[in-house]
Amino acid sequence: MKKKRSILLKVVGLAVILLVWQVVHSLSILEPTLFPSPQITFSTFFKLFISGNILPDIGSSIMRMMAGYSLAVVLGVIVGLIIGLIKPLYESCEGIIDFFRSIPVTTLYPVFVLIFGINHSSKIAMVFWSAFFVIILNTAYGVIQSNKVRRKMAKLYGASKFQIFKWITFFDALPQTLIGMRTAISFALIVEILCEMFMGSQFGIGQRITESFTTYAIPELYALILLAGSLGFCFNRIFVYFEKKLVPWVGKL
């Protein structure tokens, strides 16, 4: 019953949004030519896939995004674990990491262009930057918040430091680490699309959005925005699915 109720509420929420969208278009609250109806937008959305010309753009965006994000996950988790295990190191690095994390990555656009040029490398680097520090902070915080009682009990029973880390600290930190990774994957997609809009590229969703805007292809513009949102939603849902498999004990203790 709870599952059916949840699905029903989601359907109702979506229906309300579509209804409001249609009313705004029908009553010309916004200029209809600049705010197409849901029917036109969704029709254009499906035409992009039927024609197949959007697929190279989706593939390029996902490839660059995942390259930067994967690198951020590997290095971010390693650095976060090290910082979390060494408390003085965490205390000395926390402010620095938080400072760099707080810098809007778009303000660093000129720096990345100067260092990497206008190519795949600069976009991947910006995606990496947007995800890296978020993952570090969440991983380190997860390590620091690991259960001290369990660690002391394991030590009393003769467990080595490596065994305590492997079987207690790491798994205690995993839920918080996954929160950082889930937050970072949203940042990664946002930054990738922004990079394509700023820098331009042969293929990419951001590039297509810019082209639609400059050529006044308004229905396609909204369809591409819908596509970007759909991708972000799908990445998040997939991550949540695997997160529940990896940390099934969260919320059950």
Using CA atoms, how far apart are residues 210 and 204, in angstroms rounded to an integer? 10
Q: Is 117 helix (H, G, I), strand (E, B) or coil?
A: coil
Instruction: Express each pLDDT in 111-138 by its tens digit.
Output: 998 888 878 889 999 999 999 999 999 9
Instruction: Express each pLDDT in 64-106 by its tens digit.
Output: 999 999 999 999 999 999 999 988 888 888 888 889 888 888 8
Q: What is the mean pLDDT of residues 205-232?
A: 93
- Listed as own residue / partner, the contacts of 110-114 with beta carbons closer than 8 Å and 24 or more positions apart are 113/199
The reported pTM is 0.89
pLDDT at 95: 87
Q: Is the pLDDT of residue 49 over 80?
A: yes
Reported confidence tier of residue 253, pLDDT bands at 50, 70, 90: very low
State the average pLDDT for the chain.
89
Q: Which two tokens stand for residue 101?
A: 């994390």
Q: What is the mean pLDDT of residues 141-154?
A: 87
Q: What is the mean pLDDT of residues 182-199?
A: 91
The better pLDDT of the pair 131, 8 is held by 131
Using CA atoms, how far apart are residues 245 and 110, in angstroms rounded to an integer? 41
pLDDT at 251: 59
Reported confidence tier of residue 248, pLDDT bands at 50, 70, 90: confident
Using CA atoms, how far apart are residues 245 and 176, in angstroms rounded to an integer? 15
pLDDT at 7: 81
Fold of 58-246: MetI-like fold (1.10.3720)
DSSP letters spanning 130-156: HHHHHHHHHHHHHHHTS-HHHHHHHHH
pLDDT at 45: 93
Q: Is 161 helix (H, G, I), strand (E, B) or coil?
A: helix
- Across 111-115, 129-133, 156-160, 217-221, least confident range: 156-160
Q: What is the mean pLDDT of residues 151-179?
A: 88
Q: Is the pLDDT of residue 59 over 90?
A: yes
The better pLDDT of the pair 23, 8 is held by 23
> With the C-alpha atoms ordered 121, 123, 127, 129, is the resulting torsion angle positive or negative?
positive
Q: What is the mean pLDDT of residues 198-220?
A: 89
pLDDT at 252: 54
